């Protein structure tokens, strides 16, 4: 048992940071909230209705970026974003190029991702956050492989998303210096082994 008697709510403008030691269930909780796993007990609701009965609504309202960058090495940065966006809401080339410029990848649009550094690959994945998209972002260790400038920019962007009514759930071992008004921290170490 990773955790039990866990109850949380997320509303417009909220940011929830899930913290805790390795093995406390941070990624598992994110996967449950994203509908990628099913809970063994209890339920997850989206707008008051069971999550598993709203797969289409979840897909339209959720942007998931896992711990791995989730990009194809043989595709270019532009091709990766075009493909990922086509799964939910296709976007044009100009929007993709602007998103890549926003994460510091101007000039890398047509470069195959296998030639990029780990930090640049992470930036390709994070460029999705700069495209018109869902209000709920679930991010597993989004600061991995980013330099100081990238970390500061991402912090600012996440807080700005919340301040405009979006929602963010993230795991990170990074101490955030920029938090929106609706920021909360959930320490799963308290629930480790099912002991609240």
Stretch 36-45: mean pLDDT: 89
The reported pLDDT for the residue numbered 11 is: 94
pLDDT at 17 over 90: yes
Q: Which residue has the higher pLDDT, 54 or 16?
A: 16
For residue 185, the cross-strand partners are 17
Give, in words, the CATH class of 1-35+134-196: alpha beta
Stretch 129-148: mean pLDDT: 93
Using 50, 70 and 90 to split pLDDT, how confident is the model at 195?
very low
Residue extents of the structural domains in the chain: 1-35+134-196, 73-133
Stretch 170-184: mean pLDDT: 93
Using 50, 70 and 90 to split pLDDT, how confident is the model at 60?
confident
């Amino acid at each position: 048992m990773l955790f039990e008697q866990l109850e949380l709510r997320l509303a417009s403008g909220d940011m929830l940071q899930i913290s805790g030691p390795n093995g406390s269930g941070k990624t598992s909780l994110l996967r449950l909230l994203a509908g990628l796993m099913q809970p063994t007990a209890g339920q997850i609701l989206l707008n008051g209705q069971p999550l598993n009965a709203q797969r289409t609504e979840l897909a339209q309202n959720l942007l998931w970026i896992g711990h791995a960058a989730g990009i194809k090495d043989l595709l270019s940065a532009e091709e990766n974003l075009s493909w990922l966006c086509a799964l939910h809401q296709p976007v044009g080339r100009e929007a993709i190029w602007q998103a890549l410029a926003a994460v510091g990848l101007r000039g890398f649009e047509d470069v195959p991702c296998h030639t990029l550094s780990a930090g640049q690959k992470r930036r390709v994945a994070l460029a999705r956050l700069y495209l018109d998209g869902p209000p709920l972002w679930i991010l597993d260790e989004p600061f991995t492989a980013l330099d100081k400038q990238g970390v500061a920019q991402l912090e600012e962007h996440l807080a700005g998303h919340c301040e405009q009514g979006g929602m963010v759930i993230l795991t990170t071992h990074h101490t955030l210096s920029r938090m929106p008004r609706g920021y909360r921290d959930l320490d799963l170490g308290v629930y480790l082994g099912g002991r609240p």
